[in-house]
Structure 1
Amino acid sequence: MALDILIIDDEADIRDLISDILKDDGFSSRAAANSAQAFKAISEKLPNAIILDIWLQDSDLDGLGILEMVKKQYPLMPVIVISGHGTIETAVSAIKMGAYDYLEKPFTHDKLMIILKRACESAKLKRENIDLKSKVIDKTEFVGSAAITTRLRAEIEKVAPTSGRVMVNGAVGSGKELSARLIHKRSKRANGPFIVFSPIAMNATKIQQELFGEFERQESTSLFDKRVSVLEAANNGTLYIDDVGDLPLNAQNKLLKFLRDQTLIKGTKATKLDVRIVTSTTKDLQVEITHGRFRQDLYYRLNVVPLYVPMLAERKEDIPLLVKYFVKQLSKFSGLKEREFSDESIAALQAYNWPGNVRQLRNVIEWTLIMNPPSSSSSDKIRSDMLPQEVINNSVNISKPDTNLDMMSMPLREAREVFERQYLTAQMNRFNSNISKTSTFVGMERSALHRKLKTLNIHAANGKLNGIDNEMIDDMEVLEEIAN
């Protein structure tokens, strides 16, 4: 597909000449004689590059003024500045403002095409580099084999190919944006844009401007100031609105109107768009609706398919896989040496409750690798005592028994009971009170483990052991005795 070049020059002969040169080399071109025509052409279709004359007659802005506006709005846009009356100072100013190069009239056909092709190639490489970095930072894969993780992946696979709107619920750092990216990646819109919009810390005016493109008119740049809105940028792709519950009612009203017919109203202009909207929230929107802070009809339009992203504390068995994944990523992209975490350190990580979820786990892994550089010893494994103090102090660690208890002064039976209580508490916490997984790991029958937990007065934090109420244990034991 031919690259589209916008020629901005007040002389018709120059515009025609450059247009013919571009056509001979397989480019397509459009022309503008002044700033108003230029901004109109840009708003209608974003060019691949701009050839811009410095001195423009009958124009609100000269070439440098246009350059400043273009680079502010489209920093990667390659702009080649041309002039027949330029000076060194003008050339330096243009380059400092972001122009790719400066050509003095008259210039040869070959020189113009060499510079233009280099400018387009440079812009392409910059965009590819940004895309590559984005993919590195935001991996669109859920790591883990826990049942709750597998179920979420299956739900994403079902909803992704459809056009249904999805609302993702979950705690901060659990992977809500990752879920949205996965939905986009698996959808028919995968080749379209994925745009993230977060209203947090924005005032109502800023939200209106960014989301719907409602900018105030300015005398000299009224056309250009109707910049591309977030909704327009997401056309033919996916718009992910993070923390949708933070949208003010005004913005909720406009979003509801847009959802009804996918038409964006900007001033007197109506634009038909094709945008799939995925939202997320950490708030209970039913409570927000009750208090009049969120529109009920908007909620039902957005919450067609609800998805719940579990907290890391709900899928602790994924931690070993996540640790290996983050170690590889940090080794590859941060220059840190790839290290293995010992079984003891993994157990300590699994015993911690992770209020910051997967995001916090990644930070802990990075901190641990940075603060514990490899030594000359034969083993480079990460030990539990190398983990951050916060994790160690808030994990149940059987390697450090309760210091208030003098086990050496106890009879063997009492000391063993203390050890068993600490050991089983740690393992139950590690496996999220899952009796099946805990019994398999410690090497006990399920019924025997039930009895031992009751004897030691160990209860799950949520009052349930693998979905079984603590009060039901007695009944289970009676049934087992009858069966035997």
Structure 2
Amino acid sequence: MSDILIVDDERDIRELVSDILEDEGYTTRLAGTSDECMAEINAEPPGLLILDIWLKDSRMDGIDILKAVKRDNPDVPVVIISGHGNIEIAVAAIKQGAYDFIEKPFNIDQLMVVIRRAMETSRLRRENAQLKRREVTCADMIGQSAAFRAMIGQLDKVTKSNGRVMLRGPAGAGKEIAARYIHAHSNRANAPFVTVNCAGVEPERMEEMLFGRESQERGVEPGLLEQAHGGVVFFDEVADMPLGTQSKILRVLVDQQFQRVGGADKVRVDLRVISSTNRDLEVEIQAERFRQELYHRLNVVPIAVPSLEDRREDIPVLAAHFIDQCHQGQGLPLRALSEEAVALMQTMSWPGNVRQLKNLIERVLILGEGTGDIEARELPSDEDKAAEEGRVVLSGALATLPLREAREAFEREYLLTQINRFGGNISRTASFVGMERSALHRKLKSLGVVTSSKSGARVAHMDEEIETVE
């Protein structure tokens, strides 16, 4: 996309412009009719299009070609030239997305200034697109827990297909990172990845944002679906999409085309659709807040993104990754985590999931005590005040129990937390809590705790035989 396509029905003009540009080091292609022009563009979009308004013996004039180029290749700058130019034509061309307008006979120096600026615009757009693709490629998933590995296995299976994927999981768990992982490892990795924040857009603006708009005053303004052409559109928290928009998105999924707001022409798009939700969409369907037909179209391959509490083993490696990110991006101290800090983090509650962990790490590094290891005392806790006073905070339920029952409840909860922290590994748990493995097995059995290396630990049902498996 570094060459220039020159379109003019006068052979002398297009060859003159070509000679001038090639003397300046540019590569050129020539076309004399609209059909030749569209054939060249379809074969390989140019870095710049120099386009005559009036094309003799052609099906399309320059404005028609301009509309088609801005629809299908919006990043290609178009410089309009015409011997019949007037202010109305210039205004019409600019409204339709032309980079600039030059009248014939044109001044060579003026032409070269415009072309250099337009080619620089084209180069910057390509570099920007490459940077965006690099961001997607760098969106690596991090973890080693069983829950994480199971999710990665499912993601890897869908990367090479064009199947629609529905990512389910709580807020902050990393659903967008999972979507970017699919894109980065797919055949569309070099194409756009466009996020639609369904929860962050006013309902009355949603359709204009998605489909774009056309008007006499502002010309063509492509929407997010056009910008994602050839790549991936990611509907983040799709349950928040307005019902009226849901119907139109359903039609796009069926027809692969739509009309801009205020427009009459059909716009065709080639898209892969990935969606995410932290809600139960079947409940939303029952409440008539989500269209069942759209649900079936989007939910072709459902994949669960686990919460951070379901993958506590990954907390140390995630925390180390975020420390490195803050160091590289913000110049914050490059600190390690003490064993006590890791242990505390693996037992904390994480309602905000990975996002909450990232924010916590950044806050600790900003407000931290130095450059040494991050200690447990630096981590925020609801129990900080009680700890300063040498007290332990009791839950309301625990405080009402007799001592023996309270001790058993505490031991049960403590051991459940530690076993889940170590992914169901009894040996590692026994080592940490300071018990012999056989003694820990007996303690777990007496407390009614069932363990598994696959599913962690849980309290047994009343009629369930209690066994512990390492």
Q: TM-score, normalised by structure 1?
A: 0.72
Give the Å deviation of 1:319.
Answer: 0.4
Look up the match of 2:378: 386
Change (3 A) 1:253 1:129: closer
Written as runs of structure 1 = structure 2, the 5 A alignment for 1:241-260 is 241-260=235-254
- Given that 1:180 and 1:278 are in contact with CA atoms closer than 8 Å, whether structure 2 keeps it comes out as yes
Aligned CA distance change for structure 1 residues 458 and 125 (closer, same or farther; 3 Å): farther
Taking structure 1 as reference, are residues 210 and 311 closer, same or farther at Cα in structure 2, changes over 3 Å only?
A: same
- Offset of residue 127 of structure 1: 4.9
Equivalent of residue 217 in structure 1, options 215, 218, 240: 215
Which amino acid in 2 is paired with 1:3? Answer: D
Q: Residues 197 and 184 of structure 1: is their aligned pair in 2 closer, same or farther, counting only changes over 3 Å?
A: same
2:391 counterpart residue number: 402
Asked if the contact 1:5/1:49 (under 8 Å) is kept, the reply is no
Q: Which residue of 1 aligns with 2:346?
A: 350
Query: Which amino acid is 2:266 matched to?
Result: A
1:299 CA displacement: 1.0
State the match for 2:180 in structure 1. 181
Q: What is the aligned-residue identity percentage?
A: 34
Provide the TM-score with structure 2 as the length reference. Answer: 0.74
**Per the alignment, do residues 385 and 181 of structure 1 end up closer, same or farther by CA in structure 2, a change over 3 Å counting?**
same
Is the deviation greater in 345-354 or in 248-257?
Answer: 248-257
Alpha-carbon distance, 1:338 to partner: 1.0
Q: Quote the Cα distance in structure 2 between the aligned partners of 1:212 and 1:317.
A: 43
Structure 2 distance, partners of 1:3, 1:16, is: 15
Larger deviation: 175-184 or 292-301?
A: 292-301
Rounded to whole Å, the distance in 2 between the matches of 1:149 and 1:401 is: 37
From 456, 463, 470, the equivalent of 1:466 is: 456
Structure 1: tracts of 5 or more residues without a match: 72-78, 85-104, 406-413
Q: CA deviation at 1:473?
A: 9.9
Q: Which residue of 1 aligns with 2:57?
A: none
1:296 deviates by 1.3
The 5 A counterparts of 1:123-272 are 124-125=123-124, 127-128=126-127, 131-132=130-131, 135=134, 139-213=138-212, 215=213, 217-218=215-216, 220-221=217-218, 224-225=219-220, 227-266=221-260, 267-272=263-268
Within 5 Å, which residues of 2 pair with 1:445-484?
A: 448-453=439-444, 466=456, 468-471=458-461, 475-476=465-466
Structure 1 residues 302, 374: closer, same or farther in 2, change over 3 A? Answer: same
Report the Cα distance in structure 2 between the residues aligned to 1:162 and 1:325, rounded to whole angstroms: 30
Q: Match of 1:432, SS?
A: helix
Report the CA distance between 1:15 and its aligned residue. 7.7
CA distance in structure 2 between the partners assigned to 1:56 and 1:426 by the alignment: 84
The amino acid across from 1:203 in the alignment is: E
CA distance in 2 between counterparts of 1:172 and 1:296 reads 23
Please state whether the residue corresponding to 1:476 is helix, strand or coil. coil
Shift in Å, 1:425: 4.6
Q: Verify: 1:309 aligned to 2:293, yes or no.
A: no
Whether the 8 Å CA contact 1:194–1:239 is kept in 2: the answer is yes
CA distance in 1, matches of 2:128, 2:214: 34
Corresponding pairs, count: 421
Residue 56 of structure 2 corresponds to residue 58 of structure 1: no
- State how 1:278-317 maps to structure 2 within 5 Å: 278-317=274-313
The structural deviation recorded for 1:357 is: 0.7
Counterpart of 1:233 in structure 2: which amino acid? Q
Q: Deviations over 1:461-483 (max 9, x none)?
A: xxx98355434699437x99xxx
What's the counterpart of residue 21 of structure 2?
A: 22
Matched residue of 1:164: which SS?
coil
How far is the alpha carbon of 1:333 from its aligned partner?
A: 1.7
Q: Which amino acid aligns with 1:387?
A: L
Q: 1:119, 1:275 → 2: CA distance?
A: 29
Bigger drift between 22-31 and 289-298 goes to: 22-31
Residues 5 and 48, structure 1, Cα contact 8 Å, conserved in 2: no
Give the match for residue 58 of structure 2.
none
Aligned mate of 1:273, from 269, 276, 286: 269
Q: CA deviation at 1:114?
A: 7.9
Q: Distance in 2 between matches of 1:33 and 1:280?
A: 46
How large is the RMSD of aligned CA atoms in angstroms? 4.4
Aligned equivalent of 2:51, options 31, 56, 75 = 31
Matched residue type, 1:429: T
CA 1:247–1:421 in 2, change beyond 3 Å: closer, same or farther?
closer
SS at 1:325 equivalent: helix
For structure 2, the 5+ residue unaligned runs are 30-48, 55-61, 395-402
